[in-house]
Amino acid sequence: MESILASVNCPADIKSLTIDQLRQLCDEIRDELIEITSKHGGHLGSNLGVVELTVALHKVFDSPKDKFIFDVSHQGYVHKILTGRKEYLHTLRQTGGCSGFLQREESEHDHFGAGHAGTALSSALGFAAARDALNTDDKIVAVVGDGGLGCGVSLEALNNAADTTKDIIFILNDNKMSISPNVGGMSKYLNRIITDGRYNHFKSSVADLVKKIPGIGSSLKNGISKVEEAAKGLLIPGVIFEELGLRYFGPVDGHDIEELISTFKKLKELKQPVLLHLLTEKGHGFEGAKNDPEKCHGFKKKEVTSKDSNALSVTKPAGLTFSNIFGDELCQLAKKDDKVVSITAGMLSGTGMQKFKDAFPEKVYDVGIAEEHGTIFAAGMAGGGLKPIVGIYATFMQRAMDCVYHDICLQELPVIFCMDRAGIVEDGPTHHGIVDISFWRSLPNLHILQPRDATELRQMMNMALDFKVASVIRYPKTDSSDLDVNRDELVLGKSEVIRQGKDICIWASGRECEHALQVASILAPKGIEVKVVNTRFLAPFDQTALLKDSQEMPVITLEDHMINGGLASICSEILTNKKHNGLVAKGYPSEIIPWGKTKDIRQQYGLLPEQIASEIEELLKK
């Protein structure tokens, strides 16, 4: 069979395709997605779920004149394939290659970049307002998942939609999943629309009745779909959306390409705010993704072990990650203290909390993709006498910064924030956890801790449980194996020396201690003795030890964070107007750090151990 995908290089190439050809195209796109993600990793399940939806959008509408805004945009691979980037997508997540999200600078078809949930509806309303003000006739279509719809900002946009424009299309991609299964009232409401007992009872009763009509029962039953749709509209309309001024359509099968095209053609002619409710399946057409949607939401590299069974072999990290240790220690803390509870924002698996949920289901609160709510919720828990431990990625936690200050720090509430993915990650600028320390260290009544390894993370979690104020424990998405070096008693605000030296001192933050030790090992045979200090605490900070080291030898700061606002800034502020032997900062500059392999990114910014060692040699020569 001749490939249709091979001849598709832009949206215009699918305009003349028949329904059968479009179905074949969808099958070929799924094969392409599986092939690419099996080599490079990526968001497989979410993209498999929107194949027909994206193809239908490009069939009916005219991109880039008409604008598609995807919430999160991690489901944009199909859109990229159809807009001239099918070859480029084979460089997915590679250094200098294709981003896993939409990027305005990557294509004229990408009108709004994203990486976090909850941005599509608001930005789409902004585009619609701009169109209305400029008197153009482009259509604005926003695609949001049922997980993203529960975000506070999405609900704010829904509330404002009818007052903003009379011409916009919201598509609700309802697959009952974000990263973890969706939770909350909105998700339950959407599920009731689908499963409402009155409608299902009515449907089965009518079907049974029609079949009993002599002679014409079977043929009449085959044409009853219009009656079913009418009954559905009468019995279970999208009341919430209608009350907000949106005309509600659905639910519609999101994998029926013919029905989607027919529906989009009708919606294109309407001049009113509408919401189309689609039912899709995350990982549709691929059993490996369907059977384990959380693991296939976003992953590193997988291997397709059997095309017949669509099975996946998951590549596991060599050792236990900080996420694993966090989940395990949560269990230990809960066993010792019945006031311990945990909160996450739709990321049970990613943060390592699944083990805790299995052991203590009544102590886990998954608030969905609602970091602000989760933060203030934790404040209320702490105020009520519980000991909440919040597990959220560092980059997502940035969305609730003001809540930490206003609702927790000002009231001296002892909430513990354990922030995974603190540092560079492969997904790029929307997911790098490298800009937050500058904010956290500006807050009163907040301790900032960074563990070097698994044992230290456990110690810090136990220590934080006794704090009278809030704390932030930051750690990267890496192996957490214990470092085989000196380990001092953990004392609040005190650093530890993990390698002695007299020529130069590296103050390292968190897991960067491992890289600092590697630098010291490279330089030792050359007669250069490097002292390595594990910073441990960024707030309170060990000023006494830093001042002593800086007076004896040059100091280098090493951090998986931006230099401005991070460890280097802390040290620079302490040493201002003080006599010292020099301070060199090693971290990331204040610019957009790209996506790619973490080793490649470190190399680009001179942060590999061998690069730092070479720089130290030159420094000491001078």
Mean pLDDT of 387-400: 94
Q: How far is CA 497 from CA 86, 405, 501, 513, in A?
A: 51, 32, 10, 10
How, if at all, do strands 364-366 and 387-393 pair? unpaired
Residues 434 and 516 in one domain: no
pLDDT at 620: 92
What are 246-266's pLDDT values in tens digits? 999 989 999 999 999 999 999
CB neighbour burial string for 316-352, b if at least 16 within 10 angstroms, e if fewer: eeeeebbbbbbbbbbbebbeeeeebbbbbbbbbbbbb
What are 504-532's pLDDT values in tens digits? 999 999 999 999 999 999 999 999 999 99
Per DSSP, the three-state class of 349 is coil
Q: What is the DSSP string of 6-73?
A: GG-SSGGGGTT--HHHHHHHHHHHHHHHHHHHHHH-B-HHHHHTTHHHHHHHHHHS-TTTSEEEESSS
Residues 505 and 598 in one domain: yes
Mean pLDDT of 371-376: 92
Asked whether residue 490 is assigned to any structural domain, the reply reads: no
Q: What is the DSSP string of 276-326?
A: EEEE--TTTT-HHHHHSTTTTTSBS-EEEEETTTTEEEEPPPSS-BHHHHH
Phi/psi at 490 (nearest 5 deg)?
Answer: -80, 115
Residues 102 and 55 in one domain: yes
Q: Which two tokens stand for residue 245?
A: 């001024």
pLDDT at 72: 85
What are 186-198's pLDDT values in tens digits? 555 555 544 444 4
- Do 252 and 259 meet the contact criterion of CB atoms below 8 Å apart? yes
Residues 183 and 228 in one domain: no
Mean pLDDT of 74-82: 93
Asked whether residue 252 is assigned to any structural domain, the reply reads: yes
pLDDT at 74: 87
pLDDT confidence band for 212 (50 / 70 / 90): low
43 exposure class (CB count in 10 Å sphere: 0-12, 13-18, 19+): buried
Asked whether residue 110 is assigned to any structural domain, the reply reads: yes
Which of these, 306, 388, 310, lies nearest to 345 by C-alpha position? 388
What are 459-477's pLDDT values in tens digits? 999 999 999 999 999 999 9
Percent residues over pLDDT 90 in the chain: 70
pLDDT confidence band for 234 (50 / 70 / 90): very low
DSSP 91: G
Q: What is the CATH number of the domain that holds 564?
A: 3.40.50.920
pLDDT at 73: 83
pLDDT at 228: 47
Residues 362 and 441 in one domain: yes
Mean pLDDT of 289-314: 49
Residues 223 and 254 in one domain: no
Which of these, 347, 344, 346, 351, lies nearest to 328 by C-alpha position? 351
Phi/psi at 153 (nearest 5 deg)?
Answer: -70, -35
- Give me the residues paired with residue 473 across strands: 418, 449
pLDDT at 374: 92
Full domain range(s) for residue 615: 496-621
Instruction: Please say if the pLDDT value at position 145 is more than 50.
Output: yes
Mean pLDDT of 398-405: 93
User: Tell me, what amino acid is at 336?
Assistant: K
pLDDT at 340: 97
pLDDT at 217: 55
Mean pLDDT for the chain overall: 87
CB neighbour burial string for 367-398, b if at least 16 within 10 angstroms, e if fewer: bbbbbbbbbbbbbebbeeebbbbbbbbbbbbb
Structural domain count of the chain = 4
Going by C-beta distance under 8 Å and a sequence separation of 6 or more, which residues neighbour residue 439? 398, 401, 565
Instruction: Please say if the pLDDT value at position 206 is more than 70.
Output: no
pLDDT at 93: 81
Phi/psi at 419 (nearest 5 deg)?
Answer: -105, 105
- Do 422 and 433 meet the contact criterion of CB atoms below 8 Å apart? yes
Phi/psi at 62 (nearest 5 deg)?
Answer: -120, 90
How many degrees, rounded to 5, is the angle at CA 205 between CA 204 and CA 206?
A: 95
pLDDT at 213: 64
pTM for the structure as a whole: 0.78
pLDDT at 510: 97
Instruction: Please say if the pLDDT value at position 179 is more than 80.
Output: no
Residues 422 and 520 in one domain: no
Asked whether residue 273 is assigned to any structural domain, the reply reads: yes
Instruction: Please say if the pLDDT value at position 218 is more than 60.
Output: no
Instruction: Please say if the pLDDT value at position 157 is more than 50.
Output: yes
Q: Choose between 578 and 117: higher pLDDT.
A: 578
Residues 265 and 136 in one domain: yes
Asked whether residue 96 is assigned to any structural domain, the reply reads: yes
Q: What is the CATH number of the domain that holds 374?
A: 3.40.50.970
pLDDT confidence band for 223 (50 / 70 / 90): low
pLDDT confidence band for 40 (50 / 70 / 90): confident
Asked whether residue 296 is assigned to any structural domain, the reply reads: no
pLDDT at 312: 47
Mean pLDDT of 133-160: 90
Residues 509 and 613 in one domain: yes
Asked whether residue 182 is assigned to any structural domain, the reply reads: yes
Instruction: Please say if the pLDDT value at position 410 is more than 80.
Output: yes
Residues 187 and 206 in one domain: no
Phi/psi at 69 (nearest 5 deg)?
Answer: -115, 115
Residues 188 and 151 in one domain: yes
Question: SS3 sequence, 138-160?
Answer: CCEEEEEEHHHHCCHHHHHHHHH
> Which active-site residues does the annotation give?
282, 371, 399
CA gyration radius, the chain: 27
606 exposure class (CB count in 10 Å sphere: 0-12, 13-18, 19+): exposed
pLDDT at 231: 46
Instruction: Please say if the pLDDT value at position 50 is more than 70.
Output: yes
Going by C-beta distance under 8 Å and a sequence separation of 6 or more, which residues neighbour residue 393? 347, 350, 351, 419, 420, 421, 431, 433
CB neighbour burial string for 1-16, b if at least 16 within 10 angstroms, e if fewer: eeebbeebeebebbee
Q: Using omega within 30 degrees of 0 as the cis cutoff, is the peptide bond preceding 293 cis?
A: no
Instruction: Please say if the pLDDT value at position 167 is more than 60.
Output: yes
The gap from C-alpha 169 to its chain's centroid, in whole angstroms, comes to 25
Q: Which of 424, 439, 474 is the last residue of a domain?
A: 474
Work out the end-to-end distance of the chain between its first and last CA atoms, rounded to an integer number of angstroms. 69
What are 310-362's pLDDT values in tens digits? 444 444 555 799 999 999 999 999 999 999 999 999 889 899 999 999 999 99
Asked whether residue 479 is assigned to any structural domain, the reply reads: no
Residues 517 and 577 in one domain: yes
